[in-house]
Amino acid sequence: MPAIFFLIPLFGIIALNLPFGKVMRKAAFAFAFALFLIHVSLVLLHHFGSYISAVEVKGAFFNVSFAVDHLTFIMLLSIGIVALASLIVARSTISDERERFNFINILIIAAAGMYGIVMVKDIFTLYVFLEVAAVSAFIMIAIKKDKFALEGAFKYILLSAIATVMMLSSVALLLLLSGDTSFSAIRAALFAPASSVSLVKIAVGTFLAALFIKGGLVPFHGWLPDAYSAAPAPASILLAGIVTKVSGIYTLVRIVTELFGFTAALSGMLMFVGALSILVGAFAALGQVNFKRMLAYSSISQVGYIVIGLGTGTALGIMGAVFHLFNHAIFKSLLFVNSAAVEKETGTIDMEKLGGLSEKMPVTGVTSAIAFLSTSGIPPFAGFWSKLMIIVALWQVKSYSYAVIAVLASILTAAYLVTMQRKVFFGKLTSGLEKTKEAGFGFCAASITLALITTGAGIFFPQIFSVLIEPVKEILVR
């Protein structure tokens, strides 16, 4: 079954680009919509047990194998949901048929790359799929070809190239240590008595730094606000909702738990970087007037919660980190969908020029409020439970200062999101916006669906926890 998730999109790309231009352009949306809907349905219907190997190709040095587990299940579900939201918004915002067709092609390739990332079980193939996702993201950011889009894309590709060099260097060192690139072989070599301690430390540090760049963590976050704010609306949804989370944060969770294991030094570094990202992202978001740029800094802050939870090294911390990864994909995608709706209907995302839009855009206003409540960790929404799990895990490992930072940063999160809600949706309608109307059906369908997911995951948290989240600890905690 795992092979289906990246083989069908690749065959689909070939079929869409056969020499029947006009027909294929008209069929592209329907094909992509059916593809992602089927993938979400397959994930929900299929019962995932422990590792289920589907593809394995052995070579002299490189073994290619794919498998699914409970963490893979959560990531595949997140990718499918966010890709659907991005696709729907693309249809509503990209009017040129050829440009929309090109975007859909890139979206499918990016999804195939992410499917590979979350299912692969060897480090070199992981790198290959990371590059597929990175190149797709670069094209998405630059697709408008204006000054800001090209600047954001340049910053992204420059830092991504640095991360690539670091990652390949680390893979080379790990190959020297283990003679193989599979996760199991590398882990065995890293913990073998004869391992070279200095080479292990260099390899681990280099790979983690590359993932910090991919995930936009502080102090490697410089590319992220420009990339998110300059990209077209559907690309922003995909990038903020899932691409950087899969490329950087999911990979960090997988590599730390399956390869490197937890040491006091590694846990301390993860918690420090997580706390720094939480604070820098939250304080930076407070000073923004650009809707999308504020959401970009908010993403940095929320990703910090995932990393600080991972840094605890406990079952509860890892479960909280994984649940917050899923929650972030949903509520941040919802906020970017709504920012796209506001931009389409008003022509601006400058919050100083907006106000009172709830009167004209009630669905967008209400779903934005739901997203900000979940982001801030307000019960009963899903974000509350994942943040609570992370804070309790920090308290259990006696990291009291980090637990306090996590709590206080949630207050900061509420502050900048309340500011956004007040400037954009509350109060008196700003002059010149009297003819504004609710966003179209596509926007409303995407925002209502995402709002229902983050609300339902909070209300039915005990069931979600037992079915979706708790099994993760059996696979991740070694």
pLDDT, one tens digit per residue, over 321-337 is: 999 999 999 999 999 99
Is the model's pLDDT at 135 over the cut of 50?
Answer: yes
Is the model's pLDDT at 195 over the cut of 80?
Answer: no
pLDDT score of 1: 57
Give 278's contacts (C-beta < 8 A, 6+ positions apart). Answer: 301, 304, 305, 308, 405, 406, 409
Strand 52-57 with 64-68, pairing: antiparallel
- Range among 222-236, 281-295, 341-355, 384-398 with highest mean pLDDT value: 384-398
Tell me the average pLDDT across 15-34. 78
pLDDT score of 196: 67
- Rounded CA-CA distance 170/164 in Å is 10
Helix 21-45 and helix 70-93: axis angle, to 10°?
A: 150
Is the model's pLDDT at 168 over the cut of 70?
Answer: yes
Across 157-161, 272-276, 432-436, least confident range: 432-436
- Rounded CA-CA distance 316/298 in Å is 24
- Rounded CA-CA distance 205/176 in Å is 16
pLDDT score of 475: 61
Is the model's pLDDT at 68 over the cut of 60?
Answer: yes
pLDDT score of 64: 64
**Does residue 317 lie in a domain region?**
yes
What pTM was computed for the model?
0.91
Please report which residue ranges of 312-359 form alpha helices under DSSP H.
Answer: 315-346
Across 12-21, 118-127, 330-339, 341-350, least confident range: 12-21
Tell me the average pLDDT across 149-154. 80
* Structure token pair of residue 428: 């008196």
pLDDT score of 50: 41
User: Using CB atoms within 10 A of its CB, is residue 287 exposed (0-12), middle (13-18) or buried (19+)?
Assistant: exposed
Is the model's pLDDT at 256 over the cut of 90?
Answer: no
pLDDT score of 197: 66
Q: Quickly count: other Cβ atoms within 10 Å of residue 395's Cβ.
A: 16
**Does residue 323 lie in a domain region?**
yes
Helix 21-45 and helix 2-16: axis angle, to 10°?
A: 170
Tell me the average pLDDT across 381-408. 92
Q: Which of 32, 103, 115 is nearest to 66 (CA)?
A: 115
**Does residue 107 lie in a domain region?**
no
Output DSSP code: residue 468: I
pLDDT score of 456: 92
SS3 for 221?
A: coil
**Does residue 367 lie in a domain region?**
yes
Tell me the average pLDDT across 368-394. 91
Is the model's pLDDT at 57 over the cut of 70?
Answer: no
Across 19-23, 52-56, 340-344, 399-403, least confident range: 52-56
Distances (CA, A) of 212 to 110, 166, 361: 20, 11, 38
pLDDT score of 265: 84
Chain centre to alpha carbon of residue 177: 31
Tell me the average pLDDT across 190-213. 78
Averaged pLDDT of the chain: 84
Question: What is the Cα gyration radius of the chain?
Answer: 21
In the chain, how many domains are there?
A: 1
Angle, CA of 148, 153 and 156, to the nearest 5°: 130
Angle, CA of 246, 235 and 323, to the nearest 5°: 35
pLDDT score of 2: 61
Tell me the average pLDDT across 90-105. 84
- Rounded CA-CA distance 194/137 in Å is 41
- Range among 1-10, 184-193, 455-464, 465-474 with highest mean pLDDT value: 455-464
**Does residue 213 lie in a domain region?**
no
**Does residue 8 lie in a domain region?**
no
Is the model's pLDDT at 49 over the cut of 50?
Answer: no
**Does residue 16 lie in a domain region?**
no
pLDDT score of 229: 82
Tell me the average pLDDT across 188-214. 78
- Rounded CA-CA distance 280/272 in Å is 12
**Does residue 142 lie in a domain region?**
no
pLDDT score of 155: 82
Q: Quickly count: other Cβ atoms within 10 Å of residue 6's Cβ.
A: 22
Longest dimension (CA), the chain: 73
Q: Which of 290, 272, 281, 375 is nearest to 333 (CA)?
A: 375
Buried b (16+ CB within 10 A) or exposed e, 367-393: bbbbbbbbbbbbeebbbbbbbbbbbeb
Assess contact for 48 and 69: CB atoms under 8 A: yes
pLDDT score of 228: 83
Per-residue pLDDT band at 44 (split at 50, 70, 90): confident
- Rounded CA-CA distance 311/305 in Å is 10
Q: Which residue has the higher pLDDT, 180 or 120?
A: 120
User: What stretches of 33-116 adopt beta strand conformation (E)?
Assistant: 52-57, 64-68
pLDDT score of 20: 66
Per-residue pLDDT band at 187 (split at 50, 70, 90): confident
* Structure token pair of residue 325: 């990864």
Tell me the average pLDDT across 410-431. 85
pLDDT score of 158: 85
Is the model's pLDDT at 144 over the cut of 60?
Answer: yes
Is the model's pLDDT at 443 over the cut of 70?
Answer: yes
The amino acid at residue 288 is Q
User: Using CB atoms within 10 A of its CB, is residue 42 exposed (0-12), middle (13-18) or buried (19+)?
Assistant: middle
The number of CA neighbours under 13 Å toward the Cβ of 159 is: 25
Domain containing 432 equals 263-478
Assess contact for 133 and 169: CB atoms under 8 A: no
Is the model's pLDDT at 467 over the cut of 50?
Answer: yes
